[in-house]
Amino acid sequence: METDLNSQDRKDLDKFIKFFALKTVQVIVQARLGEKICTRSSSSPTGSDWFNLAIKDIPEVTHEAKKALAGQLPAVGRSMCVEISLKTSEGDSMELEIWCLEMNEKIYFGEVQLNGLGEGFQTVRVGTVGTPVGTITLSCAYRINLAFMSTRHFERTPPIMGIIIDHFVDRPYPSSSPMHPCNYRTTSEDTGVTYPSVEDSQEVCTTSFSTSPPSQLMVPGKDGGVPLAPNQPAHGAQADQERLATYTVSDGAHCAVTPSSSEDTETVSNSSEGRASPHDVLETIFVRKVGAFVNKPINQVTLTSLDIPFAMFAPKNLELEDADPMVNPPDSPETTSPLQGSLHSDGSSGGSSGNTQDDFVMIDFKPAFSKDDILPMDLGTFYREFQNPPQLSSLSIDIGAQSMAEDLDSLPEKLAVHEKNVREFDAFVETLQ
């Protein structure tokens, strides 16, 4: 839990998160410059070798990333995005990838920022790191529809890298916030401006670690040097198992760093770190998309770790177990089930979630993929008419009992007939083999 961190731990954690964000930007930008990377392993670390990675930081990238962060850190509802775009000599631009570093207690991805990636873009979750205050997730959304590229011929221009800065603030209307391009020039172009290198920074990383079972915050990174949060691996929604585009951008690479607010899209997530105490039951917070049968979206429901089916429809202010119709089915008429009763509520809207006496929420019945109930035999009408068919006569007890008695009586005769015809049956079986 965040409250368990003392001020020094909090300070250390913030420092790691800050340098993790800066290093992430460096890795992404350098990987997309169109040059082959080759750095040497070194047995002697320096204070600037964060996460034990031999990556030479480009000062301009660090400078711009720090400017974009503006003293803030990725946090819940505040993501840091790096946008990789292709810029042609004609001045057209096409977004290729959006790398998103975010702190989650719930996992989501803002849709608004991904409009420029074309249809059918894919996402992949690159990695997660658990911390006492949340899970840091790095994901990448990448374009797969490169129709724009196929119709144009690009001139060879020197690669440029611009960093679009959208300052690290929550934006109510993300699409309208201004983006400030910033061009990064390669070292061959002398702009006359020098940026402080990372080595000059006063903030150095820890280079010594203790040998005896180290505290988790001091453990050297098993995965590239990022310190681990106490003992709790991060869980989250399943990552898409999609391929990463192998397209290499040889010219016109254009990188943008933007933060993104995170409102609309919702997915299921688990909160992991720090939630086990002081409560005995691990709480799970769901943020769900509105389903087909739900009139009023239920934005947030807190559940216990008992996995109760249809729990989303249970009223919040009751004990879930007591209200669960699967556990305590309410009295119902013989021919209809309680759930059917709720589904038949044509007129009611939203339902009686506030009515503590009902076990079910009355909702409008709107089957998925159906049109309005205007045409005859619409899906909804069909469902309503045929969802409660009469019971089959052969399954009724009296008739079933009678036929069973008759069957038993006729059994000896049937057996005698079969025994007579044994040879015919055997011959038939042999023809099948």
Partner 1 sequence: MNCRSEVLEVSVEGRQVEEAMLAVLHTVLLHRSTGKFHYKKEGTYSIGTVGTQDVDCDFIDFTYVRVSSEELDRALRKVVGEFRDALRSSGGDGLGQMSLEFYQKKKSRWPFSDECIPWEVWTVKVHVVALATEQERQICREKVGEKLCEKIINIVEVMNRHEYLPKMPTQSEVDNVFDTGLRDVQPYLYKISFQITDALGSSVTTTMRRLIKDTLAL
> Does 181 sit behind a cis peptide bond, omega within 30 degrees of 0 on the bond before it?
no
CA 67 to chain centre: 28
- What is the nearest approach in angstroms of partner 1 to the Cβ of residue 239? 6
Q: Which is nearer to partner 1, 46 or 356 (CB)?
A: 46
**Residue 426, SS3 per DSSP:** helix
How far apart are alpha carbons 42 and 415 in whole angstroms?
A: 87
Q: What is the largest CA-CA distance in the chain?
A: 108
- What is the nearest approach in angstroms of partner 1 to the Cβ of residue 255? 18
- What is the nearest approach in angstroms of partner 1 to the Cβ of residue 103? 16
Q: Which is nearer to partner 1, 250 or 336 (CB)?
A: 250
How far apart are alpha carbons 229 and 274 in whole angstroms?
A: 9
State the DSSP code for 334: S
- What is the nearest approach in angstroms of partner 1 to the Cβ of residue 135? 11
In one-letter notation, the amino acid at residue 423 is R
Q: Which is nearer to partner 1, 40 or 423 (CB)?
A: 40
How far apart are alpha carbons 380 and 340 in whole angstroms?
A: 13
Task: Output the six-digit token pair for 43.
Answer: 């047995």
Q: Which is nearer to partner 1, 36 or 423 (CB)?
A: 36
- What is the nearest approach in angstroms of partner 1 to the Cβ of residue 233? 4
Instruction: Return residues touching partner 1 (CB under 8 A).
Output: 36-45, 49, 52-55, 124-128, 130, 207-214, 219-225, 228, 233-234, 239, 241-246, 248
Q: Which is nearer to partner 1, 211 or 391 (CB)?
A: 211
- What is the nearest approach in angstroms of partner 1 to the Cβ of residue 221? 8
Q: Which is nearer to partner 1, 45 or 341 (CB)?
A: 45
CA 145 to chain centre: 22
Handedness of CA 65, 67, 71, 74 (dihedral sign): negative
Residue 95: in which H helix or E strand, if any? strand 93-104
- What is the nearest approach in angstroms of partner 1 to the Cβ of residue 307? 21
**Residue 230, SS3 per DSSP:** coil
Judged on CB neighbours under 10 Å (0-12, 13-18, 19+), 127 is: middle
- What Cα–Cα distance (Å) separates residue 193 from each residue in 63, 190, 253? 12, 8, 22
With tokens 């939630």, the residue in question is 275
Angle at CA 237, nearest 5°, toward 31 and 21?
A: 35
- What is the nearest approach in angstroms of partner 1 to the Cβ of residue 251? 17
CB 295 within 8 A of CB 349: yes
Q: Which is nearer to partner 1, 212 or 391 (CB)?
A: 212
Q: Which is nearer to partner 1, 124 or 298 (CB)?
A: 124
Angle at CA 60, nearest 5°, toward 55 and 65?
A: 85
- What is the nearest approach in angstroms of partner 1 to the Cβ of residue 207? 5
Q: Which is nearer to partner 1, 24 or 128 (CB)?
A: 128
- What is the nearest approach in angstroms of partner 1 to the Cβ of residue 60? 21
Q: Which is nearer to partner 1, 242 or 264 (CB)?
A: 242
Residue from 24, 72, 69 nearest 50 by CA: 24
